[in-house]
């Protein structure tokens, strides 16, 4: 699966992932002490939805485009507000001409004392990321293999924060790389919050990944899964997953409010569904 993000910005997977990301950042802001977000596969930081790549797929129309027109309940809208505020800030003239990637969303939510490390290996993407945050002392754009950052940049000096691992799934073995990266990172910084994105496409691989996570020794792992359509006999991108390690105590409750409404807003057929499963800790069943 080639998931270079410029083709998929603002799709249903981004909506779910970034809504959850915003809730994690908002939790960190409940304490005055500074924190750092480390985004290991940061991408461009901001995506032009009129670009040839975005127009080629048009996936944003079934994601953020549909969400903005959805009739959501007041509790869900309140939880989505930080995320949607970041999207609207990227579109000051209204509409959705641009979509902020994870570093753009995080940067919008940071307080003056907080910091972001945005890491990207792709040379052209890094140059655009660096230009986006030029002169911003709260953001450090780093040209580096994000997998290496899980060792070299942990723990952050702030000792509080979040690590987002959002690989492109361009190469075989990405699930194994995610697991290995998490175990190594958790060993260096066991108190951090980790959010690891994965696609729901190869269902056997997803099952294996979840089983490995449950047995890896990391003590507190919550799996968030979201599918926009019923499973197919063919391998296709039906859903999105987010593994959250050390989730805040309010996170599961918030997701139980948000996910059913996101299914209502983004479903492509009556097979759309969501789940929350403790793979380790709490009420783990894996």
Instruction: Give CA angle at 254 (251, 260), nearest 5°.
Output: 130
- What is the rounded CA–CA span in Å between residue 245 and residue 222? 6
CB–CB of 212/221 below 8 Å? no
- Measured from the Cβ of residue 17, the count of other Cβ atoms closer than 10 Å reads 23
Q: Write the DSSP symbol of residue 69.
A: T
CB–CB of 23/254 below 8 Å? yes
- What is the rounded CA–CA span in Å between residue 247 and residue 27? 10
Tell me the catalytic residues.
166
CB–CB of 242/193 below 8 Å? no
- Measured from the Cβ of residue 269, the count of other Cβ atoms closer than 10 Å reads 8
- What is the rounded CA–CA span in Å between residue 30 and residue 199? 30
- What is the rounded CA–CA span in Å between residue 123 and residue 119? 11
Integer-rounded Cα Rg, in Å, for the chain is: 17
CB–CB of 42/103 below 8 Å? yes
N residues, the chain: 286
Query: Residue 254 contacts by C-beta under 8 Å, 6 or more apart in sequence?
Result: 23, 79
């Amino acid at each position: 699966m080639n998931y270079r993000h410029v083709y998929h910005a603002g799709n249903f997977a981004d909506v779910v992932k970034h809504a959850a990301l915003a809730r994690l950042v908002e939790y960190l802001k409940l304490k005055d002490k500074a924190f750092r977000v480390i985004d290991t596969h940061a991408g461009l930081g901001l995506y032009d939805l009129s670009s040839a790549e975005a127009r080629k797929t048009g996936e944003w129309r079934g994601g953020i485009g549909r969400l903005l027109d959805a009739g959501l309940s007041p509790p869900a809208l309140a939880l989505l507000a930080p995320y949607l505020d970041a999207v609207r800030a990227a579109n000051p003239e209204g509409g959705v001409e641009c979509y902020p990637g994870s570093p753009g969303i995080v940067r919008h939510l940071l307080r003056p004392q907080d910091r972001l490390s945005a890491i990207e290996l792709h040379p052209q993407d890094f140059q655009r990321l660096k230009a986006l945050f030029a002169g911003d002392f709260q953001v450090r754009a780093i040209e580096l293999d994000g997998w290496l950052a899980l060792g070299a940049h942990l723990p952050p000096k702030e000792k509080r924060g979040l690590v987002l691992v959002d690989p492109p799934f361009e190469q075989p073995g990405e699930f194994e790389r995610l697991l290995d990266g998490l175990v190594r990172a958790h060993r260096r910084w066991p108190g951090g919050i980790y959010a690891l994105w994965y696609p729901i496409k190869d269902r056997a691989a997803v099952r294996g990944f979840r089983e490995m996570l449950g047995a890896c020794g990391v003590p507190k792992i919550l799996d968030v899964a979201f599918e926009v359509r019923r499973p197919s006999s063919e391998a296709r991108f039906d859903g999105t997953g987010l593994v959250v390690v050390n989730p805040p105590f309010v996170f599961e409750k918030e997701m139980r409010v948000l996910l059913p409404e996101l299914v209502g807003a983004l479903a492509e057929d009556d097979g759309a569904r969501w789940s929350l499963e403790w793979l380790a800790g709490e009420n783990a069943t894996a």
